[in-house]
Amino acid sequence: MADQNGVFMGMDLRCQVNNHAHRTGEMDLERLLVRRGQPFSLALQCSTPLPPKHKLAMILHLGKEGEVVVKVLDARSGRDKWWFRQQRAQNEVLLTVHSPADTPVGIYSMTLLLLSPDGHILEQTTPETFYLLFNPWCKADSVYLPDEELLEEYILNENGLLYQGSWDQISSLPWNFGQFEQDVVDICFEILNNSPTALKNPEIDTANRADPVYVSRTITAMVNANDDRGVVSGRWDGKYDDGVSPTRWTGSVAILRRWSEAGAQRVRYGQCWVFSGVACTVLRCLGIPTRPVTNYSSAHDTDGNLNVDYLYNEQLESVSGGRKDMIWNYHCWVESWMDREDLPKGYDGWQALDPTPQERSDGVYCCGPCPVKAVRDGDVGMKYDAAFVFSEVNANLVTWIVYPDGQRSQVSLNQKTVGRNISTKSVYGDYREDITKHYKYPEGSVKEREVYEKAGRQITQLNGGPGQLELKIKHAQAILGTDFDVIVEVHNVGGEDTPAQLTVTSNAVTYNSLHRGECQRRTASLTVPAQKAHKEVMRLRYDHYGACVSEHNLIRVTALLQANSQPDVILQEVNIPLSMPQLHVKVVGDAVVSRKLIAHISFTNPLPITLRGGVFTVEGAGLTAPRELQAPGNIGPGEDVKVKLSFKPTRAGLRKLMVDFDADRLRDVKGIATLIVRNR
């Protein structure tokens, strides 16, 4: 506001009208949040009508220190300029402000000036702040997505599913993205402001924020804390005492707030689904359509040869050493929708972005944006990181046996193991959509072979043809806390009885293939009759795996078969996810904004041991901020535990209350309640 004796009395930012029109009303109604390329209105109150020949001018400042100055023209201009038009009505002026669809996103400071007929500044308003976001509803914006149903999901939906488990036993994890929760938008811009480029050269960084390629790549680097003042610190060794176990998070909001409140100090700890969940929140909040993606049997190819090489000795002990190629049971990243004006025509649309710190890209731990189409078509030279993403979904798995004299023998080659059931949540409900076809052509098709050649991939050939013996591993559904059988079948498809050596091991592993301990091992000398099968049954008891099982509750069974009279060696491997119990969540009361509700949470300990230090974590966008409830004492085998929580919904609509339970010997137990909240 200007001097009390001046003409200007105040300015109404019309936040409610503008924010609803710009689809940011869920974010805030007290502050102005608008999307670029779409006009918004302001009302300037004056003490007297403005003199006819006096002019209004508008100045915008952008950047942490207002480094970038924008003069807004008072007449219609080209699409690449800011301009406004005005309608004067007695003591009020209604201004309609037009922004270019390619202007930088950010927090702007706006000042109105009153100019005399000869251009002198007579008066100016107190600066007002507004937020400018990407606009996927605007055709001229490079993130334009012409499908309202997709926008409802990939911009406006605060709840989602992250997929975990294994390719043949897929499970879903509810996640609270919470992109419209209080102050999350401020934290998103705070993340951008703490990037190395922003700290070193803020003016260049601010100008580059017009480009979603630049912004998404910056966010991908900043979500992990490896190189910079990033948000989440990754850890995979099971030691989380100085932080929070990755399995305990139920959403992004608590992580983002913790990072901001600590002065941009990294939050401990995350793993791939946490990194992807946080990245999805930030990108949706900024207005870039984004979805989380899970790739099953995801390759981490450390040497770039498009093969994942597993090396074992004859005792089935890993002898890879150093930096090892790995196949993760699953791996999560995100896709964002945008034009790629920095690439040849044809690479617009979904771009893969991976915030999990695996390999450096241009010296920084980030990955993407990589056009998904480039991955499918084998265009591995496209930026950014197409070769790495291609290997994640297309690498060969080659297994070798290394003998005491250093010689090694290739015992298996699988061209179909890597990149299975690539998944995201459907826009039409809480179920899985398979998007594998976006990343690769059907296995074994002519087009797939062409893509391999195009990518420069060498197809490794196995020595010799198929042998007489075949090896299969079967298992019933395995439930955490119970004993279960694994059956190894050796089939002799030849015409002669065949003697062989069989070694079977079971190991507790993490979802990204780190070994936590051997559960059980069995070796057997056997003779398999012609045209018959031999079955070896291994019973895995909780006593065997309970002490070493990882927080991902995954057992890997590996079988090695060597025929005595033949050079053939066969290796098979299966990952067995242990089924988890569920929390029961029931909400009692009338779901109305600001009216108290009670959530009853119950759980039965499935393990034959006592659980200690149990903690329930609860959160829900529009329902309650993240909260923790301690379990009432130790929980014995088969014992029930019940807690209750009161909360008052803050926003209407379809809402989800998400609950996690963690204890000393059991983690990642989830529950969810869905409710429809009405306005008063």
* Residue 599: exposure state from Cβ atoms within 10 A (0-12, 13-18, ≥19): buried
Secondary structure E strands in 30-134: 32-35, 40-46, 55-62, 68-72, 83-89, 92-98, 106-115, 121-124, 128-133
By three-state DSSP, how is residue 33 classified?
strand
* Residue 380: exposure state from Cβ atoms within 10 A (0-12, 13-18, ≥19): buried
Spatial distance between the Cα atoms of 173 and 164, rounded to a whole number of angstroms: 7
Active centre residues (catalytic): 272, 331, 354
In this structure, the dihedral spanned by the alpha carbons of residues 463, 469, 472 and 473, taken in order and rounded to 10 degrees, is -100
Q: Do residues 629 and 615 lie in contact, with contact meaning Cβ atoms separated by under 8 Å?
A: yes
Q: Do residues 267 and 232 lie in contact, with contact meaning Cβ atoms separated by under 8 Å?
A: yes
β 232-234/370-371 pair status: unpaired
Q: 297: closest CA among 200, 423, 211? A: 423
Q: Do residues 370 and 382 lie in contact, with contact meaning Cβ atoms separated by under 8 Å?
A: yes
DSSP 581-633: P--EEEEES--BTT--EEEEEEEE--SSS-B-S-EEEEEETTTEEEEEEE-SS
